Structure 1
């Protein structure tokens, strides 16, 4: 059984410019994902897929590999993760499993990476295993704004349903996605019954797309480190 980690990290982030390189608690953001992947001991290779020379140089300095540069056509605002993974796998020798690890996942823990690989090996009929977290409140009771700016139910049919009677819902935690190599190359759907959940506690999850997200992640990281959950 062989596994490769692939960390997508393009240079052209818009909402937080150069976010993959910005210091997070004194360490470049992408360096945290690289270090966690390497320390996990799960991967034969840790590869960074980037179109950016500065990101590539940092990745190499951190012990990752950059055996190819990502073409510009796969580094725009519209290219999805799956296309980046297919390209990377086409440039690499065959591995049984490939794990996409996001560069902006400072709360990532190796134990959950290991759990994802264990899940896939135990369920040969499944294609993927990836990080999720439960919503803190039933999504069926969500509110939205109408065209006049007034509140209305997003799902009116659940307006009178007690929250405890509604099924639990989960969100993509945006940290990692384990997949069988053939599943990535076939284009199997991630959000489907072909996938298994690695359920993370909500306090270990923070997607980072905006400055507000970044600040919240810093607060979470500081609290978790103080509590001994992160090194």
Structure 2
């Protein structure tokens, strides 16, 4: 399911408990100390904490980390760090769902019970509070376990190509070589920004993509920050949006 983000937000209409969890491990490789690297003058994790605060959706805003410096930075930005993430859940290959399942269990042990948990990535400076509110509204409205933002691919994936070792171009889907782009269905990809999920879904280790619905956001607010070039592009985009 995909939604365009234009939902009716009935703010304050219920008393469900919500908790934000920002997973921020210390061992990033491609961009060292990525989660607290300065972005437009502030540690990048600040922006995820700030949008969670401004949304007024959350009873607790928690950072899950294995790293003392990240913990100190998160606390200075106004987040809580009431537990430490175990090192075996801070590996390069550790998926998001086990990290969130650990956070939900840790919160329950602390007496922080919530109906809905939102995973907000620490390097997501383009998240806005309306997106968070719209995602929660959709999760409450439809029979899915997760809701997360998606955006359109800039070009139909059905006409995507790959380059052979000799430089020859080949279509991944040869049957669409002559298809007009306007005749092909719109496709989307995960923005890598946040994931609303039911508490039971995180604890049940369900797959957040195939068990979820997509909330469409514009692709001018999407940058997947994986390397230094992505970081530079994201800062340029952020400053452009900020000063407009």
Give TM-score, length-normalised by structure 1: 0.95
2:127 pairs with 104, 108, 115, which one?
108
Taking the aligned partners of 2:160 and 2:236, their CA distance within structure 1 comes to: 26
Task: Report the secondary structure of 1:100's partner residue.
Answer: strand
1:59 pairs with 63, 68, 74, which one?
74
Q: What is the CA-CA distance between 1:147 and the residue it aligns to?
A: 3.3
Kindly indicate whether residue 220 of structure 2 is the aligned counterpart of residue 219 of structure 1: no
1:69-105: CA deviations, max 9, x gaps? 1111011111000110011111012310000000000
Kindly indicate whether residue 166 of structure 2 is the aligned counterpart of residue 154 of structure 1: no
Partner of 1:143: 161
Q: What is the CA-CA distance between 1:191 and the residue it aligns to?
A: 2.0
Taking the aligned partners of 2:83 and 2:147, their CA distance within structure 1 comes to: 26
Taking the aligned partners of 2:97 and 2:224, their CA distance within structure 1 comes to: 18
Q: Structure 1 stretch 142-151 or stretch 47-56: which is displaced more? A: 142-151
- Contact kept, 8 Å, 2:146 with 2:209, in 1: the verdict is no
Which residues in structure 2 correspond to 1:111-130 (within 5 Å)? 111-123=130-142, 125-130=143-148
Q: What is the CA-CA distance between 1:154 and the residue it aligns to?
A: 1.5
Taking the aligned partners of 2:177 and 2:207, their CA distance within structure 1 comes to: 31
- How many residues are aligned here? 225
Gaps of 5+ in 1: none
Kindly indicate whether residue 54 of structure 2 is the aligned counterpart of residue 39 of structure 1: yes
Kindly indicate whether residue 6 of structure 2 is the aligned counterpart of residue 5 of structure 1: no
Taking the aligned partners of 1:100 and 1:42, their CA distance within structure 2 comes to: 13
Taking the aligned partners of 2:232 and 2:168, their CA distance within structure 1 comes to: 30
Partner of 2:6: none
Taking the aligned partners of 1:135 and 1:52, their CA distance within structure 2 comes to: 35
Kindly indicate whether residue 195 of structure 2 is the aligned counterpart of residue 173 of structure 1: no
1:158-198: CA deviations, max 9, x gaps? 11111111110001001100000101111222222x31111
Give TM-score, length-normalised by structure 2: 0.90
Task: Report the secondary structure of 2:233's partner residue.
Answer: helix
- Contact kept, 8 Å, 2:20 with 2:117, in 1: the verdict is yes
Gaps of 5+ in 2: 1-15
1:22 pairs with 34, 37, 40, which one?
37
Moved over 6 A (4+): none
Taking the aligned partners of 1:91 and 1:153, their CA distance within structure 2 comes to: 48
**Aligned CA-pair RMSD:** 0.9
